[in-house]
Structure 1
Protein backbone atom coordinates (compact mmCIF):
# COMPACT_ATOMS: atom_id res chain seq x y z
CA UNK A 1 0.00 0.00 0.00
CA UNK A 2 1.20 3.51 -0.85
CA UNK A 3 -0.03 6.65 0.93
CA UNK A 4 -0.72 9.54 -1.51
CA UNK A 5 -1.32 13.19 -0.62
CA UNK A 6 -4.34 14.28 -2.67
CA UNK A 7 -4.48 17.81 -1.16
CA UNK A 8 -2.88 19.93 1.57
CA UNK A 9 -4.97 18.26 4.30
CA UNK A 10 -6.14 14.96 2.80
CA UNK A 11 -4.50 11.71 1.77
CA UNK A 12 -5.53 8.20 0.73
CA UNK A 13 -4.18 4.71 0.21
CA UNK A 14 -5.52 1.52 -1.43
CA UNK A 15 -5.52 -2.09 -0.28
CA UNK A 16 -5.42 -4.18 -3.46
CA UNK A 17 -6.11 -7.41 -1.58
CA UNK A 18 -9.31 -6.02 -0.04
CA UNK A 19 -10.09 -3.95 -3.17
CA UNK A 20 -10.69 -0.95 -0.92
CA UNK A 21 -9.53 2.68 -0.96
CA UNK A 22 -9.15 4.50 2.38
CA UNK A 23 -9.08 8.29 2.83
CA UNK A 24 -8.18 10.50 5.79
CA UNK A 25 -8.41 14.24 6.46
CA UNK A 26 -6.19 16.27 8.84
CA UNK A 27 -6.45 19.59 10.62
CA UNK A 28 -3.18 20.87 9.12
CA UNK A 29 -0.63 20.06 6.43
CA UNK A 30 2.02 19.36 9.09
CA UNK A 31 -0.10 16.57 10.56
CA UNK A 32 -0.62 15.13 7.08
CA UNK A 33 3.14 15.11 6.40
CA UNK A 34 3.86 13.50 9.77
CA UNK A 35 1.29 10.77 9.10
CA UNK A 36 2.74 10.13 5.62
CA UNK A 37 6.23 9.74 7.15
CA UNK A 38 4.92 7.34 9.79
CA UNK A 39 3.02 5.41 7.11
CA UNK A 40 6.17 4.97 5.05
CA UNK A 41 8.14 4.06 8.20
CA UNK A 42 5.70 1.30 9.17
CA UNK A 43 5.51 0.08 5.60
CA UNK A 44 9.31 -0.26 5.47
CA UNK A 45 9.32 -1.92 8.91
CA UNK A 46 6.70 -4.38 7.69
CA UNK A 47 8.76 -5.20 4.62
CA UNK A 48 11.89 -5.80 6.70
CA UNK A 49 9.96 -7.89 9.22
CA UNK A 50 8.48 -9.97 6.40
CA UNK A 51 11.90 -10.57 4.84
CA UNK A 52 13.40 -11.42 8.23
CA UNK A 53 10.57 -13.82 8.96
CA UNK A 54 10.96 -15.51 5.59
CA UNK A 55 14.72 -15.87 6.14
CA UNK A 56 14.17 -17.44 9.56
CA UNK A 57 11.55 -19.80 8.15
CA UNK A 58 13.90 -20.86 5.35
CA UNK A 59 16.69 -21.53 7.88
CA UNK A 60 14.54 -23.37 10.43
CA UNK A 61 12.14 -25.28 8.15
CA UNK A 62 12.85 -28.60 6.44
CA UNK A 63 12.37 -28.97 2.66
CA UNK A 64 9.14 -30.87 3.26
CA UNK A 65 7.76 -28.01 5.34
CA UNK A 66 8.65 -25.12 3.06
CA UNK A 67 5.31 -25.23 1.28
CA UNK A 68 3.45 -25.22 4.61
CA UNK A 69 5.38 -22.28 6.02
CA UNK A 70 5.58 -20.14 2.88
CA UNK A 71 2.30 -18.39 3.67
CA UNK A 72 3.29 -17.22 7.17
CA UNK A 73 2.99 -13.48 6.92
CA UNK A 74 2.33 -11.39 9.93
CA UNK A 75 -0.24 -8.72 9.08
CA UNK A 76 1.15 -5.28 9.53
CA UNK A 77 -1.46 -2.63 9.83
CA UNK A 78 -0.93 1.09 10.26
CA UNK A 79 -1.34 2.51 13.68
CA UNK A 80 -4.62 4.11 14.55
CA UNK A 81 -5.11 7.09 12.28
CA UNK A 82 -3.72 10.26 13.80
CA UNK A 83 -2.26 13.55 12.77
CA UNK A 84 0.32 13.84 15.59
CA UNK A 85 2.47 11.52 17.71
CA UNK A 86 -0.41 11.30 20.17
CA UNK A 87 -3.49 9.25 19.34
CA UNK A 88 -6.42 11.32 18.08
CA UNK A 89 -9.57 9.18 17.96
CA UNK A 90 -12.54 10.00 15.73
CA UNK A 91 -14.72 10.75 18.77
CA UNK A 92 -12.25 13.48 19.84
CA UNK A 93 -12.53 15.15 16.41
CA UNK A 94 -16.27 14.67 16.63
CA UNK A 95 -16.43 16.45 20.00
CA UNK A 96 -14.13 19.25 18.80
CA UNK A 97 -16.35 20.04 15.78
CA UNK A 98 -19.86 19.15 16.91
CA UNK A 99 -20.16 20.34 20.51
CA UNK A 100 -23.13 22.73 20.59
CA UNK A 101 -23.92 24.77 23.65
CA UNK A 102 -27.51 26.06 23.72
CA UNK A 103 -27.94 28.93 26.16
CA UNK A 104 -31.26 30.28 27.30
CA UNK A 105 -31.76 33.68 25.64
CA UNK A 106 -34.49 36.03 26.86
CA UNK A 107 -37.13 36.75 24.27
CA UNK A 108 -36.91 40.21 22.74
CA UNK A 109 -39.98 42.38 22.96
CA UNK A 110 -40.28 42.73 19.17
CA UNK A 111 -41.70 39.88 17.09
CA UNK A 112 -39.17 40.65 14.32
CA UNK A 113 -36.27 40.30 16.78
CA UNK A 114 -37.70 36.95 17.95
CA UNK A 115 -37.83 35.68 14.38
CA UNK A 116 -34.27 36.82 13.61
CA UNK A 117 -33.01 35.25 16.83
CA UNK A 118 -34.56 31.85 16.07
CA UNK A 119 -33.46 32.01 12.42
CA UNK A 120 -29.85 32.55 13.54
CA UNK A 121 -30.21 29.72 16.06
CA UNK A 122 -31.62 27.40 13.37
CA UNK A 123 -28.82 28.32 10.93
CA UNK A 124 -26.21 27.47 13.58
CA UNK A 125 -27.95 24.18 14.30
CA UNK A 126 -28.08 23.34 10.60
CA UNK A 127 -24.33 23.96 10.29
CA UNK A 128 -23.60 21.84 13.35
CA UNK A 129 -25.98 19.16 12.07
CA UNK A 130 -24.04 19.00 8.79
CA UNK A 131 -20.79 18.58 10.74
CA UNK A 132 -22.38 15.91 12.91
CA UNK A 133 -23.62 14.05 9.83
CA UNK A 134 -20.15 14.11 8.25
CA UNK A 135 -18.56 12.95 11.50
CA UNK A 136 -21.12 10.15 11.85
CA UNK A 137 -20.50 8.98 8.29
CA UNK A 138 -16.75 8.99 8.91
CA UNK A 139 -17.22 7.15 12.22
CA UNK A 140 -19.43 4.54 10.52
CA UNK A 141 -16.80 3.97 7.85
CA UNK A 142 -14.11 3.65 10.54
CA UNK A 143 -16.27 1.18 12.49
CA UNK A 144 -16.66 -1.01 9.40
CA UNK A 145 -12.91 -0.87 8.76
CA UNK A 146 -12.13 -1.73 12.37
CA UNK A 147 -14.53 -4.67 12.30
CA UNK A 148 -12.72 -5.99 9.26
CA UNK A 149 -9.40 -5.49 11.01
CA UNK A 150 -10.73 -7.23 14.13
CA UNK A 151 -11.84 -10.22 12.06
CA UNK A 152 -8.43 -10.28 10.35
CA UNK A 153 -6.67 -10.11 13.74
CA UNK A 154 -8.73 -13.00 15.05
CA UNK A 155 -8.03 -15.12 11.99
CA UNK A 156 -4.33 -14.29 12.22
CA UNK A 157 -4.29 -15.17 15.93
CA UNK A 158 -5.89 -18.56 15.22
CA UNK A 159 -3.44 -19.19 12.40
CA UNK A 160 -0.52 -18.25 14.63
CA UNK A 161 -1.76 -20.58 17.37
CA UNK A 162 -1.92 -23.41 14.84
CA UNK A 163 1.54 -22.49 13.61
CA UNK A 164 2.88 -22.61 17.19
CA UNK A 165 1.40 -26.07 17.59
CA UNK A 166 2.99 -27.21 14.34
CA UNK A 167 6.36 -25.80 15.35
CA UNK A 168 6.17 -27.55 18.73
CA UNK A 169 5.66 -30.85 16.91
CA UNK A 170 8.69 -30.40 14.74
CA UNK A 171 11.61 -32.48 15.96
CA UNK A 172 15.11 -31.07 16.15
CA UNK A 173 16.24 -27.47 16.00
CA UNK A 174 14.63 -26.88 19.38
CA UNK A 175 16.32 -23.56 19.99
CA UNK A 176 15.07 -22.07 16.72
CA UNK A 177 11.53 -23.35 17.37
CA UNK A 178 11.49 -21.83 20.85
CA UNK A 179 12.63 -18.51 19.46
CA UNK A 180 9.90 -18.54 16.83
CA UNK A 181 7.35 -19.55 19.46
CA UNK A 182 8.37 -16.59 21.63
CA UNK A 183 8.07 -14.20 18.69
CA UNK A 184 4.69 -15.62 17.74
CA UNK A 185 3.42 -15.30 21.31
CA UNK A 186 4.55 -11.68 21.39
CA UNK A 187 2.73 -11.06 18.11
CA UNK A 188 -0.41 -12.65 19.55
CA UNK A 189 -0.19 -10.44 22.66
CA UNK A 190 0.20 -7.35 20.47
CA UNK A 191 -2.83 -8.37 18.39
CA UNK A 192 -4.89 -8.93 21.54
CA UNK A 193 -3.90 -5.48 22.80
CA UNK A 194 -4.94 -4.00 19.44
CA UNK A 195 -8.28 -5.81 19.67
CA UNK A 196 -8.89 -4.40 23.14
CA UNK A 197 -8.02 -0.86 21.99
CA UNK A 198 -10.38 -1.15 19.00
CA UNK A 199 -13.20 -2.35 21.25
CA UNK A 200 -12.71 0.67 23.53
CA UNK A 201 -12.80 3.01 20.53
CA UNK A 202 -16.01 1.35 19.32
CA UNK A 203 -17.61 2.00 22.71
CA UNK A 204 -16.59 5.65 22.53
CA UNK A 205 -18.08 5.94 19.06
CA UNK A 206 -21.37 4.51 20.32
CA UNK A 207 -21.45 7.17 23.04
CA UNK A 208 -20.80 9.90 20.45
CA UNK A 209 -23.65 8.59 18.28
CA UNK A 210 -25.99 8.82 21.28
CA UNK A 211 -24.87 12.41 21.88
CA UNK A 212 -25.52 13.20 18.22
CA UNK A 213 -29.04 11.80 18.55
CA UNK A 214 -29.65 14.02 21.59
CA UNK A 215 -28.45 17.07 19.64
CA UNK A 216 -30.79 16.13 16.79
CA UNK A 217 -33.68 15.99 19.27
CA UNK A 218 -32.78 19.44 20.58
CA UNK A 219 -32.60 20.74 17.02
CA UNK A 220 -36.08 19.39 16.27
CA UNK A 221 -37.44 21.04 19.43
CA UNK A 222 -35.95 24.42 18.50
CA UNK A 223 -37.28 24.06 14.94
CA UNK A 224 -40.75 23.51 16.33
CA UNK A 225 -40.38 26.57 18.57
CA UNK A 226 -39.29 28.61 15.56
CA UNK A 227 -42.36 27.53 13.64
CA UNK A 228 -44.58 28.49 16.57
CA UNK A 229 -42.81 31.84 16.78
CA UNK A 230 -43.33 32.44 13.06
CA UNK A 231 -47.04 31.69 13.45
CA UNK A 232 -47.24 34.08 16.40
CA UNK A 233 -45.33 36.69 14.39
CA UNK A 234 -47.81 36.30 11.52
CA UNK A 235 -50.68 36.84 13.94
CA UNK A 236 -49.01 39.92 15.39
CA UNK A 237 -48.39 41.31 11.91
CA UNK A 238 -52.05 40.75 11.07
CA UNK A 239 -53.11 42.54 14.24
CA UNK A 240 -50.68 45.37 13.47
CA UNK A 241 -52.11 45.75 9.96
CA UNK A 242 -55.63 45.88 11.46
CA UNK A 243 -54.57 48.53 13.96
CA UNK A 244 -52.92 50.58 11.22
CA UNK A 245 -56.13 50.39 9.18
CA UNK A 246 -58.15 51.51 12.18
CA UNK A 247 -55.73 54.34 12.83
CA UNK A 248 -55.98 55.48 9.23
CA UNK A 249 -59.80 55.39 9.40
CA UNK A 250 -59.70 57.32 12.66
CA UNK A 251 -57.44 59.94 11.11
CA UNK A 252 -59.81 60.30 8.17
CA UNK A 253 -62.77 60.70 10.52
CA UNK A 254 -60.84 63.24 12.58
CA UNK A 255 -59.97 65.24 9.47
CA UNK A 256 -63.61 65.21 8.39
CA UNK A 257 -64.66 66.35 11.85
CA UNK A 258 -62.14 69.21 11.72
CA UNK A 259 -63.52 70.33 8.36
CA UNK A 260 -67.06 70.31 9.80
CA UNK A 261 -65.88 72.36 12.78
CA UNK A 262 -64.23 74.90 10.47
CA UNK A 263 -67.44 75.26 8.47
CA UNK A 264 -69.44 75.67 11.66
CA UNK A 265 -66.99 78.27 12.98
CA UNK A 266 -67.21 80.20 9.74
CA UNK A 267 -71.01 80.10 9.95
CA UNK A 268 -70.90 81.24 13.57
CA UNK A 269 -68.56 84.09 12.66
CA UNK A 270 -71.06 85.26 10.00
CA UNK A 271 -73.94 85.07 12.43
CA UNK A 272 -71.95 86.89 15.09
CA UNK A 273 -71.11 89.63 12.56
CA UNK A 274 -74.77 89.97 11.63
CA UNK A 275 -75.79 90.08 15.29
CA UNK A 276 -73.16 92.74 15.90
CA UNK A 277 -74.53 94.87 13.08
CA UNK A 278 -78.06 94.32 14.40
CA UNK A 279 -76.97 95.38 17.89
CA UNK A 280 -75.33 98.48 16.52
CA UNK A 281 -78.48 99.34 14.57
CA UNK A 282 -80.65 98.85 17.65
CA UNK A 283 -78.33 100.99 19.71
CA UNK A 284 -78.53 103.78 17.15
CA UNK A 285 -82.34 103.52 17.13
CA UNK A 286 -82.44 103.75 20.90
CA UNK A 287 -80.19 106.81 20.84
CA UNK A 288 -82.50 108.44 18.20
CA UNK A 289 -85.62 107.83 20.23
CA UNK A 290 -84.08 109.28 23.35
CA UNK A 291 -83.06 112.48 21.60
Structure 2
Protein backbone atom coordinates (compact mmCIF):
# COMPACT_ATOMS: atom_id res chain seq x y z
CA UNK A 1 0.00 0.00 0.00
CA UNK A 2 2.90 2.36 0.55
CA UNK A 3 3.89 2.27 -3.16
CA UNK A 4 0.70 3.76 -4.53
CA UNK A 5 0.07 6.08 -1.61
CA UNK A 6 3.48 7.72 -1.80
CA UNK A 7 3.26 8.59 -5.52
CA UNK A 8 0.08 10.46 -6.52
CA UNK A 9 -0.59 10.68 -10.25
CA UNK A 10 -2.57 13.94 -10.04
CA UNK A 11 -3.56 16.15 -7.09
CA UNK A 12 -5.87 19.13 -6.60
CA UNK A 13 -7.68 20.87 -3.75
CA UNK A 14 -11.43 20.88 -3.17
CA UNK A 15 -14.16 20.84 -0.54
CA UNK A 16 -15.38 17.25 -0.01
CA UNK A 17 -19.06 16.29 0.46
CA UNK A 18 -21.02 13.05 0.79
CA UNK A 19 -24.70 12.43 0.20
CA UNK A 20 -26.80 12.14 3.34
CA UNK A 21 -27.28 8.36 3.86
CA UNK A 22 -30.71 8.90 5.39
CA UNK A 23 -32.38 11.30 2.94
CA UNK A 24 -30.20 10.65 -0.15
CA UNK A 25 -30.91 14.29 -1.06
CA UNK A 26 -28.79 16.66 0.98
CA UNK A 27 -25.01 17.04 0.87
CA UNK A 28 -23.06 16.61 4.11
CA UNK A 29 -19.61 18.29 4.22
CA UNK A 30 -16.86 15.90 5.31
CA UNK A 31 -14.10 18.52 5.41
CA UNK A 32 -14.17 21.87 7.19
CA UNK A 33 -11.92 23.42 4.54
CA UNK A 34 -10.39 22.60 1.16
CA UNK A 35 -8.27 19.43 1.28
CA UNK A 36 -5.98 17.64 -1.17
CA UNK A 37 -7.74 15.12 -3.47
CA UNK A 38 -5.38 12.80 -5.40
CA UNK A 39 -5.45 10.04 -7.99
CA UNK A 40 -3.30 6.99 -7.17
CA UNK A 41 -2.38 3.83 -9.05
CA UNK A 42 -2.47 0.63 -6.97
CA UNK A 43 0.10 -1.57 -8.73
CA UNK A 44 -0.64 -4.59 -6.53
CA UNK A 45 -4.29 -4.74 -7.64
CA UNK A 46 -3.87 -2.92 -10.99
CA UNK A 47 -6.59 -0.36 -10.15
CA UNK A 48 -6.89 3.42 -9.93
CA UNK A 49 -8.15 5.13 -6.78
CA UNK A 50 -9.27 8.56 -5.60
CA UNK A 51 -8.04 9.25 -2.06
CA UNK A 52 -8.33 12.30 0.19
CA UNK A 53 -7.10 12.67 3.76
CA UNK A 54 -8.28 15.20 6.36
CA UNK A 55 -5.44 14.93 8.83
CA UNK A 56 -5.07 11.19 9.44
CA UNK A 57 -8.69 10.38 8.47
CA UNK A 58 -9.46 9.10 4.97
CA UNK A 59 -12.61 10.93 3.83
CA UNK A 60 -12.39 9.55 0.27
CA UNK A 61 -11.18 6.05 -0.69
CA UNK A 62 -12.90 5.28 -3.98
CA UNK A 63 -11.76 2.70 -6.55
CA UNK A 64 -12.45 3.81 -10.15
CA UNK A 65 -14.45 1.24 -12.14
CA UNK A 66 -15.41 1.33 -15.85
CA UNK A 67 -19.11 1.86 -15.02
CA UNK A 68 -18.51 5.01 -12.92
CA UNK A 69 -19.48 8.44 -14.26
CA UNK A 70 -18.28 11.85 -13.05
CA UNK A 71 -21.05 14.45 -13.48
CA UNK A 72 -20.52 18.23 -13.46
CA UNK A 73 -23.63 19.69 -11.81
CA UNK A 74 -22.45 23.32 -11.90
CA UNK A 75 -19.47 25.41 -12.93
CA UNK A 76 -17.51 24.47 -9.78
CA UNK A 77 -19.16 21.29 -8.46
CA UNK A 78 -19.00 17.66 -9.58
CA UNK A 79 -20.06 14.27 -8.21
CA UNK A 80 -19.76 10.51 -8.77
CA UNK A 81 -21.43 7.45 -7.26
CA UNK A 82 -19.42 4.64 -5.64
CA UNK A 83 -21.50 1.46 -5.36
CA UNK A 84 -18.84 -0.32 -3.30
CA UNK A 85 -18.85 2.40 -0.67
CA UNK A 86 -22.65 2.77 -1.11
CA UNK A 87 -22.40 6.57 -1.28
CA UNK A 88 -22.11 9.55 -3.61
CA UNK A 89 -19.08 11.84 -3.38
CA UNK A 90 -19.20 15.54 -4.23
CA UNK A 91 -16.34 17.99 -4.80
CA UNK A 92 -16.50 21.79 -4.74
CA UNK A 93 -13.63 23.48 -6.59
CA UNK A 94 -12.34 27.03 -6.45
CA UNK A 95 -12.59 27.50 -10.22
CA UNK A 96 -14.12 25.88 -13.29
CA UNK A 97 -10.66 25.04 -14.68
CA UNK A 98 -9.89 22.81 -11.68
CA UNK A 99 -13.24 21.03 -12.17
CA UNK A 100 -12.61 20.46 -15.90
CA UNK A 101 -9.09 19.13 -15.21
CA UNK A 102 -10.37 16.73 -12.54
CA UNK A 103 -13.14 15.48 -14.89
CA UNK A 104 -10.60 14.90 -17.69
CA UNK A 105 -8.38 12.88 -15.34
CA UNK A 106 -11.42 10.89 -14.16
CA UNK A 107 -12.32 9.97 -17.74
CA UNK A 108 -8.68 9.11 -18.53
CA UNK A 109 -8.23 6.78 -15.53
CA UNK A 110 -11.69 5.29 -16.06
CA UNK A 111 -10.63 4.26 -19.59
CA UNK A 112 -7.33 2.95 -18.19
CA UNK A 113 -9.28 0.89 -15.63
CA UNK A 114 -11.46 -0.52 -18.42
CA UNK A 115 -8.43 -1.53 -20.47
CA UNK A 116 -6.76 -3.07 -17.40
CA UNK A 117 -9.92 -5.05 -16.66
CA UNK A 118 -10.08 -6.36 -20.24
CA UNK A 119 -6.40 -7.37 -20.13
CA UNK A 120 -6.89 -9.20 -16.83
CA UNK A 121 -9.92 -11.05 -18.26
CA UNK A 122 -7.93 -12.06 -21.35
CA UNK A 123 -5.11 -13.22 -19.09
CA UNK A 124 -7.54 -15.33 -17.05
CA UNK A 125 -8.96 -16.86 -20.22
CA UNK A 126 -5.48 -17.70 -21.51
CA UNK A 127 -4.45 -19.30 -18.21
CA UNK A 128 -7.70 -21.27 -17.96
CA UNK A 129 -7.57 -22.62 -21.55
CA UNK A 130 -4.89 -25.34 -20.97
CA UNK A 131 -6.78 -26.67 -17.97
CA UNK A 132 -9.96 -26.82 -20.05
CA UNK A 133 -8.15 -28.64 -22.85
CA UNK A 134 -6.67 -31.16 -20.45
CA UNK A 135 -10.06 -31.62 -18.85
CA UNK A 136 -11.60 -32.12 -22.32
CA UNK A 137 -8.98 -34.69 -23.19
CA UNK A 138 -9.70 -36.50 -19.96
CA UNK A 139 -13.45 -36.41 -20.64
CA UNK A 140 -12.87 -38.89 -23.47
CA UNK A 141 -12.06 -41.45 -20.77
CA UNK A 142 -13.64 -41.83 -17.29
CA UNK A 143 -12.42 -39.05 -14.93
CA UNK A 144 -11.15 -41.35 -12.19
CA UNK A 145 -7.67 -42.46 -11.21
CA UNK A 146 -8.74 -46.07 -11.68
CA UNK A 147 -9.75 -45.44 -15.28
CA UNK A 148 -6.48 -43.65 -15.93
CA UNK A 149 -4.53 -46.61 -14.49
CA UNK A 150 -6.68 -48.89 -16.60
CA UNK A 151 -5.61 -47.00 -19.64
CA UNK A 152 -2.00 -47.53 -18.63
CA UNK A 153 -2.63 -51.29 -18.35
CA UNK A 154 -4.16 -51.27 -21.79
CA UNK A 155 -1.17 -49.40 -23.11
CA UNK A 156 1.23 -51.93 -21.56
CA UNK A 157 -0.22 -54.81 -23.61
CA UNK A 158 2.20 -54.15 -26.48
CA UNK A 159 4.91 -55.65 -24.24
CA UNK A 160 3.53 -59.06 -25.09
CA UNK A 161 2.93 -58.31 -28.72
CA UNK A 162 6.53 -57.79 -29.84
CA UNK A 163 7.54 -60.87 -27.84
CA UNK A 164 4.75 -62.98 -29.27
CA UNK A 165 5.46 -62.03 -32.85
CA UNK A 166 8.95 -63.60 -32.86
CA UNK A 167 7.57 -66.56 -31.02
CA UNK A 168 4.79 -66.93 -33.63
CA UNK A 169 7.25 -67.07 -36.51
CA UNK A 170 10.59 -68.42 -35.20
CA UNK A 171 11.67 -69.56 -38.62
CA UNK A 172 11.41 -66.08 -40.17
CA UNK A 173 13.18 -63.97 -37.44
CA UNK A 174 14.58 -65.58 -34.34
CA UNK A 175 15.57 -62.74 -31.88
CA UNK A 176 18.32 -63.20 -29.34
CA UNK A 177 17.45 -63.12 -25.64
CA UNK A 178 19.51 -59.96 -25.06
CA UNK A 179 17.62 -58.10 -27.78
CA UNK A 180 14.30 -59.16 -26.23
CA UNK A 181 15.36 -57.87 -22.82
CA UNK A 182 16.36 -54.54 -24.40
CA UNK A 183 12.89 -54.26 -25.92
CA UNK A 184 11.37 -55.02 -22.53
CA UNK A 185 13.46 -52.25 -20.93
CA UNK A 186 12.32 -49.87 -23.68
CA UNK A 187 8.67 -50.64 -22.98
CA UNK A 188 9.28 -50.36 -19.24
CA UNK A 189 10.67 -46.86 -19.84
CA UNK A 190 7.61 -46.06 -21.96
CA UNK A 191 5.41 -47.39 -19.16
CA UNK A 192 7.19 -45.17 -16.60
CA UNK A 193 6.77 -42.16 -18.92
CA UNK A 194 3.08 -42.97 -19.32
CA UNK A 195 2.68 -43.23 -15.57
CA UNK A 196 4.39 -39.83 -15.19
CA UNK A 197 2.02 -38.38 -17.78
CA UNK A 198 -0.91 -39.94 -15.93
CA UNK A 199 0.28 -38.33 -12.69
CA UNK A 200 0.52 -34.95 -14.47
CA UNK A 201 -2.98 -35.43 -15.92
CA UNK A 202 -4.27 -36.32 -12.47
CA UNK A 203 -2.73 -33.13 -11.02
CA UNK A 204 -4.23 -31.10 -13.90
CA UNK A 205 -7.60 -32.72 -13.24
CA UNK A 206 -7.40 -31.84 -9.56
CA UNK A 207 -6.39 -28.28 -10.48
CA UNK A 208 -9.31 -28.06 -12.90
CA UNK A 209 -11.62 -29.35 -10.17
CA UNK A 210 -10.28 -26.65 -7.80
CA UNK A 211 -10.75 -24.03 -10.53
CA UNK A 212 -14.32 -25.23 -11.05
CA UNK A 213 -14.96 -24.86 -7.32
CA UNK A 214 -13.45 -21.38 -7.40
CA UNK A 215 -15.57 -20.45 -10.42
CA UNK A 216 -18.65 -21.78 -8.65
CA UNK A 217 -17.82 -19.59 -5.66
CA UNK A 218 -17.32 -16.59 -7.94
CA UNK A 219 -20.59 -17.40 -9.70
CA UNK A 220 -22.36 -17.53 -6.34
CA UNK A 221 -20.78 -14.20 -5.40
CA UNK A 222 -21.87 -12.73 -8.75
CA UNK A 223 -25.39 -14.06 -8.18
CA UNK A 224 -25.47 -12.45 -4.74
CA UNK A 225 -24.21 -9.20 -6.26
CA UNK A 226 -26.89 -9.46 -8.98
CA UNK A 227 -29.59 -10.00 -6.33
CA UNK A 228 -28.29 -7.03 -4.36
CA UNK A 229 -28.27 -4.88 -7.50
CA UNK A 230 -31.78 -6.10 -8.33
CA UNK A 231 -32.93 -5.03 -4.87
CA UNK A 232 -31.15 -1.73 -5.37
CA UNK A 233 -32.92 -1.25 -8.71
CA UNK A 234 -36.24 -2.00 -7.00
CA UNK A 235 -35.47 0.59 -4.32
CA UNK A 236 -34.50 3.13 -6.99
CA UNK A 237 -37.73 2.41 -8.84
CA UNK A 238 -39.61 3.07 -5.62
CA UNK A 239 -37.73 6.33 -5.27
CA UNK A 240 -38.34 7.30 -8.91
CA UNK A 241 -41.64 8.91 -7.89
CA UNK A 242 -39.64 11.51 -6.02
CA UNK A 243 -37.37 12.20 -9.01
CA UNK A 244 -39.32 15.29 -10.12
CA UNK A 245 -39.15 16.76 -6.63
CA UNK A 246 -35.43 16.04 -6.46
CA UNK A 247 -34.91 17.55 -9.94
CA UNK A 248 -36.84 20.69 -9.02
CA UNK A 249 -34.92 20.94 -5.76
CA UNK A 250 -31.69 20.42 -7.68
CA UNK A 251 -32.70 23.13 -10.18
CA UNK A 252 -33.47 25.52 -7.34
CA UNK A 253 -30.14 24.71 -5.71
CA UNK A 254 -28.33 25.26 -9.01
CA UNK A 255 -30.09 28.60 -9.47
CA UNK A 256 -29.23 29.57 -5.89
CA UNK A 257 -25.62 28.56 -6.48
CA UNK A 258 -25.50 30.59 -9.71
CA UNK A 259 -27.00 33.60 -7.93
CA UNK A 260 -24.49 33.25 -5.11
CA UNK A 261 -21.66 32.92 -7.63
CA UNK A 262 -22.84 36.05 -9.47
CA UNK A 263 -23.12 37.89 -6.14
CA UNK A 264 -19.66 36.67 -5.19
CA UNK A 265 -18.32 37.83 -8.55
CA UNK A 266 -19.91 41.27 -8.04
CA UNK A 267 -18.42 41.45 -4.55
CA UNK A 268 -15.02 40.50 -5.93
CA UNK A 269 -15.29 43.24 -8.58
CA UNK A 270 -16.34 45.74 -5.90
CA UNK A 271 -13.41 44.60 -3.75
CA UNK A 272 -11.04 45.15 -6.68
CA UNK A 273 -12.50 48.62 -7.20
CA UNK A 274 -12.10 49.41 -3.49
CA UNK A 275 -8.51 48.17 -3.65
CA UNK A 276 -7.86 50.52 -6.58
CA UNK A 277 -9.44 53.41 -4.64
CA UNK A 278 -7.30 52.58 -1.61
CA UNK A 279 -4.21 52.54 -3.82
CA UNK A 280 -5.20 55.90 -5.31
CA UNK A 281 -5.86 57.28 -1.81
CA UNK A 282 -2.43 56.07 -0.69
CA UNK A 283 -0.85 57.81 -3.67
CA UNK A 284 -2.78 61.02 -2.90
CA UNK A 285 -1.73 60.79 0.75
CA UNK A 286 1.89 60.42 -0.32
CA UNK A 287 1.57 63.45 -2.61
CA UNK A 288 -0.14 65.36 0.21
CA UNK A 289 2.68 64.49 2.61
CA UNK A 290 5.24 65.65 0.05
CA UNK A 291 3.36 68.93 -0.50
CA UNK A 292 3.02 69.42 3.26
CA UNK A 293 6.75 68.96 3.67
CA UNK A 294 7.41 71.43 0.85
CA UNK A 295 4.95 73.89 2.45
CA UNK A 296 6.73 73.61 5.76
CA UNK A 297 10.03 74.25 4.04
CA UNK A 298 8.50 77.25 2.26
CA UNK A 299 7.06 78.63 5.52
CA UNK A 300 10.44 78.24 7.20
CA UNK A 301 12.13 80.04 4.31
CA UNK A 302 9.43 82.74 4.38
CA UNK A 303 10.05 83.31 8.07
CA UNK A 304 13.76 83.67 7.36
CA UNK A 305 13.00 86.14 4.58
CA UNK A 306 10.63 88.10 6.85
CA UNK A 307 13.29 88.31 9.54
CA UNK A 308 15.80 89.48 6.93
CA UNK A 309 13.26 92.04 5.63
CA UNK A 310 12.62 93.33 9.12
CA UNK A 311 16.34 93.68 9.66
CA UNK A 312 16.68 95.54 6.34
CA UNK A 313 13.78 97.83 7.28
CA UNK A 314 15.44 98.61 10.58
CA UNK A 315 18.71 99.28 8.82
CA UNK A 316 16.85 101.48 6.28
CA UNK A 317 15.09 103.38 9.02
CA UNK A 318 18.36 103.96 10.88
CA UNK A 319 19.96 105.02 7.59
CA UNK A 320 17.13 107.48 6.95
CA UNK A 321 17.54 108.90 10.43
CA UNK A 322 21.24 109.29 9.85
CA UNK A 323 20.56 111.01 6.51
CA UNK A 324 18.04 113.36 8.16
CA UNK A 325 20.55 114.28 10.85
CA UNK A 326 23.20 114.78 8.19
CA UNK A 327 20.83 117.05 6.25
CA UNK A 328 20.09 119.08 9.32
CA UNK A 329 23.75 119.42 10.08
CA UNK A 330 24.42 120.32 6.47
CA UNK A 331 21.62 122.90 6.53
CA UNK A 332 23.03 124.40 9.69
CA UNK A 333 26.44 124.58 8.08
CA UNK A 334 24.90 126.21 5.00
CA UNK A 335 23.19 128.80 7.19
CA UNK A 336 26.45 129.47 9.00
CA UNK A 337 28.22 129.60 5.63
CA UNK A 338 25.63 132.05 4.30
CA UNK A 339 26.19 134.27 7.38
CA UNK A 340 29.90 134.11 6.91
CA UNK A 341 29.55 134.87 3.21
CA UNK A 342 27.27 137.80 4.04
CA UNK A 343 29.78 139.10 6.56
CA UNK A 344 32.62 138.64 4.06
CA UNK A 345 30.56 140.53 1.47
CA UNK A 346 30.00 143.41 3.88
CA UNK A 347 33.68 143.32 4.76
CA UNK A 348 34.61 143.50 1.08
CA UNK A 349 32.22 146.31 0.45
CA UNK A 350 33.64 148.24 3.39
CA UNK A 351 37.16 147.58 2.21
CA UNK A 352 36.22 148.69 -1.23
CA UNK A 353 34.72 151.86 0.11
CA UNK A 354 37.80 152.46 2.16
CA UNK A 355 39.97 151.98 -0.86
CA UNK A 356 37.85 154.31 -2.89
CA UNK A 357 37.80 156.92 -0.11
CA UNK A 358 41.51 156.94 0.29
TM interval, shorter chain, is 0.3 to 0.5
Structure of greater relative contact order (alpha carbons < 8 Å, 6+ residues apart):
1
Structure richer in strand, relative to its length: 2
Higher Cα Rg: structure 1 or 2?
2
Structure richer in helix, relative to its length: 1
